[in-house]
Structure 1
Amino acid sequence: MARFDEVKDLILSLEGDFDKFYNKANQAAGTRVRKGMQELKTLAQEIRSEVQNKKNEAE
């Protein structure tokens, strides 16, 4: 569950920047959102690989 908590923490850390970008048109916040979403993508891929490896080990 630690990996799930990492995902939640990352998403929650981006909440302020999402608000600033979408509601206040802050362009720098948009850059931070894009960076954070790239980190999320990387983290998701790592978790996906871990799950696949555990699944394959069990077979």
Structure 2
Amino acid sequence: MEKFSKVKAAVAAIEADVEKFYNAGNAAAGTRVRKAMQDLKVLAQEIRAEVTEKKNSGK
């Protein structure tokens, strides 16, 4: 659950940069969005591994 909370916090934190990139055309904000999306990808993969491990350990 802790990692899922980190995912939600990361999405909330990047919201301003997403607005700046898509609505104002701020290229630097786009770079920050791309980095944050990569960090989210890593977190999501960690969550997937945890879920798989927990699911398989119950058998």
Q: Same fold (TM over 0.5)?
A: yes
Q: % of aligned pairs identical?
A: 58
Shift in Å, 1:41: 0.4
TM-score where L is the length of structure 1: 0.96
Mapping for residues 38-53 of structure 1, pairs under 5 Å: 38-53=38-53
Mapping for residues 9-24 of structure 1, pairs under 5 Å: 9-24=9-24
In structure 1, C-alpha distance between the alignment counterparts of 2:32 and 2:8, rounded to whole Å: 17
In structure 2, C-alpha distance between the alignment counterparts of 1:5 and 1:45, rounded to whole Å: 14
- Number of matched pairs: 59
Name the residue aligned to 1:29: 29
In structure 2, C-alpha distance between the alignment counterparts of 1:43 and 1:4, rounded to whole Å: 8
TM-score where L is the length of structure 2: 0.96
